[in-house]
Structure 1
Amino acid sequence: MTTNVVVSEQPKQLRFKEYKRWLRVTLYTILLLTGQCTATLLGRLYFDKGGKSRWTASFVQSAGFPILLPLLFYSQKHAKSTKHPNIDSCKTKPKPSMICSFYLAFGLMMTAMDLLYAYGLQYLPLSTFTLVCASQLGFNAIFTFFLNSQKLTALIFNSIVVLTISVALLAINTESEDTKHLPKEKQIIGFFCSLAASATFSLHHSLLQIYFEKVIKTETLSAVMNMNFYPMLIATCGGSVGLVASGDWKNLQTEMKEFENGRVSYVMTLVWTAVMWQIACIGMLGLIFEVSSLFSTVIGNLELTITPILAVMGFGDKICRVKVIAFLLAIWGFLSYIYQHYLDDQKNKENRSNGLEFSKGEEQI
């Protein structure tokens, strides 16, 4: 009699857990889209209104990490209070030196990625920049196939093809009314730096998934905050070294004086860029361990379909026919990914349902 009650309660418990999980996924999605979209627009505003230092633009992408200290302390305190000695003792914990080496590697990777993104933002119109960054989906599909055992389905392959065509169209049409004031060489540099940043970003995501699944083998708030905070600290140090070594720090006062919107606007642009990137990173890491690196990249690419529209409204970017075609192809690739995730989710639900029915049958026997 007791067994039947326990079994009947299992579907309710599973539904409640699934509901809580998707609430978290929704929250992380909002954080990622809001933070990434706002930070990208502010990054373009910095260069548009007189900013010239790529190392400054790179530095602020990670320099906001101190605002996460309260959340970091809370997550560690919560992890200690909920720690189960019997369960934790069964797990083989990685050595601190190994974890530190991962933090260092991810931090240096972020430094390079931030600098590449800064080149792209400086040398390309925002609408073109975001469309090139849509190639993250294609790169992520390749990296997850080789590193995360992600199946390369027909829908994902379709996305790779259309996104490649989209990027190729932009590559052969870099010159537009928005970039006539820039030399052709700088436009090409901006294009390939954006492409390289997208590849680095996707590799970063896939390696993060390996880190969570294979190295620390845990999916907790503490693990997410640690992987956000410490690599950001390393990336900030790397950005500081670059800022000093390049000599850009000497020109910060001059930049502030010459900024079109004034000194206060200059400071607030950099400060809020730093803050919004931190919000975006929390959302990104949350989606990685709640779902997968592929899903996190898909949601991040949704911002790349919103920003070109905002760029036309806020910065007066020109939308030529090539950009329209590239934009439609990017949407096509994005929807293909979303539909593949829908199919995977339905299949997982069926598997869980079949497993539950099987367990009920065993209990009755």
Structure 2
Amino acid sequence: MDEQALLLLKEEDEGKIRRTSVPTQLLKLKRTQWWILVFISIFFLISAQAIAVLLGRFYYNQGGNSKWISTLVQTGGFPILYLPLCLLPPSSSHSSSSSCSFTTLLCIYLSLGLAIGLDNLLYSFGLSYLSASAYSILCASQLAFNGVFSYYINSQKITVLIFFSVLLLSVSAVLVSLDDDDDSNNSPSGDSKWSYLVGCFCTVFGSLIYSLQLSLMQLSFEKVIKSETFSMVLEMQIYTSLVASCVAVIGLFASGEWMLLSVEMDEFHEGRVVYVLTLVGTAVSWQLGSVGAVALIFLVTSLFSNLIGTLSLIVTPLAAIAVFHDKLTELKMVAMVIAFMGFALYIYQIYLNDLEVQRAREAQVE
């Protein structure tokens, strides 16, 4: 039996074990109900992430300029995640945390939280210098980085399809970095090519860190925590977001930006109320996207969740064209097509893996 098929079969069996810790009502769901939950989660992840990026772009377009506030709202809405956590049975939360010590968990939360804080800051700089469409397409490079880190950190087999997926997404990112025709009208950085290149670098480097922390999070679940219950995933989201939010708050006060917030609010083009609503909406959108991602991890797999998150990066530029009238240049169109081809190759590889799992299961039955 193929080694990859055995590994996938093992992961599927572990997924069944994880589901035993969730409410019994969910275990009794019919297949149709399960698919409904999956599609609802996909909708939340794609729409919430697109809205969050567009609101972030709106914040900068209307006069917002605080990188640390933009960083904070990406994780600052984490308290709303306590709602689904409280809906879980108390026993599941305790059992999920008992497989490793409190000190070990604290180290994991701190290290991943710091990485997320740095990642959010880089994304804030990238979004401030780029249009929403260019920013989103560049973020698609996270799937390419994820393939590399999964190979070295998570021992994932890199097939020909995955290799070409990584290559195509990397080419797409390079093409976008060469196209700055529309950013002078949609970015507060003006028409400076240097600012545009800095935005590209920050976004791609942020995607690299994001992919790295995803692989490290998976490694933590498999090798250290040895538990992937729904409550454990929520706790990981909450406490790493708490650390990242603390980093953003410290940066906000250390940089002195907090003293300028009142002025920024007064000078916001759409007024103080819209300023507050924009930040609150951005924070809630990022967390709804996180809930959608967590739900897909719970209902399907973490890889599927990541792929849907990447798909939302293809949807966001289309929304940016409608909302902000971003210019859809020929080079950007080519980049979007190449990014979609890379995504499709990755999806096809998952389909082939599923076929291998099915054959392996049938062989075991025989």
Q: 2:99·2:227 contact (CA, 8 Å) conserved in 1?
A: no
Q: 2:184·2:191 contact (CA, 8 Å) conserved in 1?
A: yes
Residues 203, 292 of structure 1: CA spacing in aligned structure 2 closer, same or farther, 3 A cutoff?
farther
| Residue 247 of structure 1, CA deviation | 1.1
Match of 1:36 among 46, 49, 56: 49
Residues 80, 210 of structure 1: CA spacing in aligned structure 2 closer, same or farther, 3 A cutoff?
closer
Residues 25, 204 of structure 1: CA spacing in aligned structure 2 closer, same or farther, 3 A cutoff?
farther
1:255 alignment partner AA? E
Task: Verify: 1:343 aligned to 2:349, yes or no.
Answer: no
Task: Verify: 1:112 aligned to 2:125, yes or no.
Answer: no
Match of 2:65 in 1: 52
2:183 alignment partner AA? D
Percent identity of paired positions between Structure 1 and Structure 2:
41
Match of 1:177 among 177, 182, 201: 182
Match of 2:81 among 68, 87, 95: 68
Match of 1:102 among 108, 133, 145: 108
Answer with 130-139 or 71-80: which moved more: 71-80
Q: What CA distance in whole angstroms lies between the structure 1 residues aligned with 2:46 and 2:309? A: 6
Task: Verify: 1:270 aligned to 2:279, yes or no.
Answer: yes
Task: Verify: 1:243 aligned to 2:256, yes or no.
Answer: no
Residues 127, 241 of structure 1: CA spacing in aligned structure 2 closer, same or farther, 3 A cutoff?
same
Q: What CA distance in whole angstroms lies between the structure 1 residues aligned with 2:83 and 2:177? A: 44
2:173 alignment partner AA? V
* Structure with bigger gyration radius: 1
Match of 1:314 among 316, 319, 323: 323
1:41 alignment partner AA? L
1:207 alignment partner AA? L
Residues 66, 92 of structure 1: CA spacing in aligned structure 2 closer, same or farther, 3 A cutoff?
closer
Q: What CA distance in whole angstroms lies between the structure 2 residues aligned with 1:66 and 1:265? A: 22
Task: Verify: 1:192 aligned to 2:201, yes or no.
Answer: yes
Q: What CA distance in whole angstroms lies between the structure 2 residues aligned with 1:139 and 1:240? A: 29
Q: What CA distance in whole angstroms lies between the structure 2 residues aligned with 1:341 and 1:51? A: 41
Per-residue CA distance 1:276-327 (angstroms, 9 max, x = gap): 1111122223434655443322111111111111111100111111101101
Answer with 346-355 or 152-161: which moved more: 346-355
Secondary structure of the 1:319 match is coil
Match of 1:280 in 2: 289
Q: What CA distance in whole angstroms lies between the structure 2 residues aligned with 1:142 and 1:104? A: 24
Answer with 25-34 or 161-170: which moved more: 25-34
Match of 1:152 in 2: 158
Number of residue equivalences: 335
Match of 2:268 in 1: 259
Q: What CA distance in whole angstroms lies between the structure 1 residues aligned with 2:239 and 2:98? A: 22
| Residue 43 of structure 1, CA deviation | 0.8
Residues 271, 296 of structure 1: CA spacing in aligned structure 2 closer, same or farther, 3 A cutoff?
same
Q: What CA distance in whole angstroms lies between the structure 2 residues aligned with 1:293 and 1:72? A: 18
CA root-mean-square deviation: 2.3
Per-residue CA distance 1:59-114 (angstroms, 9 max, x = gap): 11111111222323333625169x6xxxx9xx982111001100001110110011
Q: 1:131·1:304 contact (CA, 8 Å) conserved in 2?
A: yes
Q: 1:228·1:282 contact (CA, 8 Å) conserved in 2?
A: no
Q: How does 1:195-214 map to 2 (within 5 A)?
A: 195-214=204-223
Match of 1:3 in 2: none
Q: How does 1:318-329 map to 2 (within 5 A)?
A: 318-329=327-338
1:261 alignment partner AA? E
Q: 1:123·1:186 contact (CA, 8 Å) conserved in 2?
A: yes
Q: What CA distance in whole angstroms lies between the structure 2 residues aligned with 1:354 and 1:303? A: 37
Q: What CA distance in whole angstroms lies between the structure 2 residues aligned with 1:240 and 1:130? A: 26
Q: What CA distance in whole angstroms lies between the structure 1 residues aligned with 2:182 and 2:102? A: 53
1:124 alignment partner AA? L
Q: 2:131·2:182 contact (CA, 8 Å) conserved in 1?
A: no
Secondary structure of the 1:114 match is helix
Secondary structure of the 1:149 match is coil
Per-residue CA distance 1:150-200 (angstroms, 9 max, x = gap): 111111111111112111222233x31332623222111100000001111
Q: What CA distance in whole angstroms lies between the structure 1 residues aligned with 2:70 and 2:318? A: 22
1:314 alignment partner AA? V
1:185 alignment partner AA? W
Q: 2:230·2:298 contact (CA, 8 Å) conserved in 1?
A: no
Residues 285, 344 of structure 1: CA spacing in aligned structure 2 closer, same or farther, 3 A cutoff?
same
Per-residue CA distance 1:30-78 (angstroms, 9 max, x = gap): 3321221111111111111110111110011111111222323333625
Structure 1 portions without partners, runs of 5+ = 1-14, 359-365
Residues 66, 253 of structure 1: CA spacing in aligned structure 2 closer, same or farther, 3 A cutoff?
same
Q: 1:76·1:222 contact (CA, 8 Å) conserved in 2?
A: no
Q: What CA distance in whole angstroms lies between the structure 1 residues aligned with 2:147 and 2:330? A: 28
Match of 2:147 in 1: 141
Structure 2 portions without partners, runs of 5+ = 1-26
| Residue 122 of structure 1, CA deviation | 0.4
Answer with 209-218 or 327-336: which moved more: 209-218
